[in-house]
Chain A
Amino acid sequence: MSHEDSHKDHAKEHQHSHGHPHPQQPDSEDEPYSHEQVMATALEELLSDKGLIAAGDMSSALDYWASKTPADGARLVARCWTDPAFAQRVGENVNAAAAELDMDIGTTPVVAITNTPDLHNVLVCTLCSCYPIGLLGESPGWYKSRAYRSRVVSEPRVVLAEFGTQISDETEVRVHDSTADLRYIVIPMRPEGTEELSEGELAEIVTRDCMIGTAVAKGLEE
């Protein structure tokens, strides 16, 4: 591209701000900015000048992302745990089942994969970090990282151990690489000792990571 030279100067100047996913919330007053940050704002303004996006479109898109959190996925899992007929419908069509709970998770088909004592599932996208945003919100930085995407396919148990998750050798660990048209959600196993909990209380123990498969659901007292 024609601005490659200025790009390199910037890379030198702002070395510390490159080469990692920039997870920190920068102080917008005095943090330096990268060439791509300038490019992102320029893109927005150029597209707006050309009438291809409107300010209102940007704010509704931002609101849409902000409204998506793992609480929706947790609510779906808790309902699966308490209502076997619902769990079956989730197995057939997650998007339709989510609509029963008044969740709009979009049109990209989501497939539920259910953990059992013999099978532990874990999700990755080695291509580009595909993720069930409609149910889990924005994916964490590590899900997008090279380390996770490279290693979880070839040494899943080592990666799971880094999350503090140990799976018995008797249990099959199954990695799902979602590089195409489907998104996945793991339905974790309901922990023992949670028989007395209400559906709302159950939803509280369903963490984001147990719906990705890097963790297992744990009871309240653990």
Chain B
Amino acid sequence: MSRFKKGDTVHVRTDYPQGHARAPYFTRGHQGHIEQITGPYPNAEELAYGRRGAQEPLYRVRFRQQALWPSYQGSPHDTLVADLYEHWLNPGDRS
């Protein structure tokens, strides 16, 4: 069961935990939309320490480039899709 569905607005946690973290740092604190639900996959942050990671959904989350990079010079249409495990995501503001 996945907590989010395609098209949902999600907010990437603004956390900088100790150890191996799998959310690209430039997505943290930003809002995006669920592009695709994949998985479940074991939590790679646990596997990285040789532990058996709990299975969780992995989402492909789409961000507007202008939201990620304040000085973005490309087209306003441009986007970035990052692969994010569910524990990195909270519900976003409705938009």
Contact = CB atoms under 8 A, between A and B. Distances in A.
Contact between A and B in the complex (any CB pair below 8 Å): yes
Contact of B22 (A127, A157, A173): A127
Given A175-B78, A180-B85, 15 more contacts: A153-B26, A153-B80, A156-B74, A157-B73, A157-B74, A157-B78, A169-B77, A170-B75, A172-B77, A172-B78, A172-B79, A174-B80, A175-B79, A175-B80, A177-B81
A35 interface: no
A202 to B, nearest CB: 27
Contact of B24 (A126, A170, A174): A126
Contact of B74 (A173, A178, A181): A173
B44 A154 contact: no
A171 B77 contact: yes
A154 B26 contact: yes
Nearest to B77: A172
A178 B38 CA distance: 13
A154 B65 CA distance: 8
A181 B83 CA distance: 8
A158 B75 CA distance: 11
A213 to B, nearest CB: 12
B78 A174 contact: yes
A17 to B, nearest CB: 29
Given A127-B24, A153-B26, A174-B79, A180 B74 contact: no
Contact of B44 (A156, A174, A176, A180): A180
A158 B41 CA distance: 34
Interface of A, helix, strand, loop or mixed by DSSP = loop
26 contacts: A109-B38, A153-B24, A154-B26, A154-B69, A155-B72, A157-B73, A158-B73, A169-B74, A169-B77, A170-B77, A171-B75, A172-B77, A173-B77, A173-B78, A174-B62, A174-B78, A175-B80, A176-B81, A179-B22, A179-B82, A179-B83, A180-B22, A180-B41, A181-B39, A181-B58, A182-B58
Nearest to B20: A127
B72 A154 contact: yes
A156 B78 contact: yes
A182 B77 CA distance: 25
A177 B58 contact: no
A197 B49 CA distance: 51
Contact of A181 (B26, B44, B77): B44
Contact of B83 (A156, A174, A175, A178): A178
Contacts of A170: 75, 77
Contacts of B22: 127, 179-180
A150 to B, nearest CB: 10
A153 B24 CA distance: 11
Interface string A146-188: 0000000111111000000000011111111111111000000
**In the A-B complex, the 8 residue pairs with the closest CB atoms:** A180-B83, A172-B77, A169-B75, A181-B41, A175-B80, A157-B74, A173-B78, A177-B82
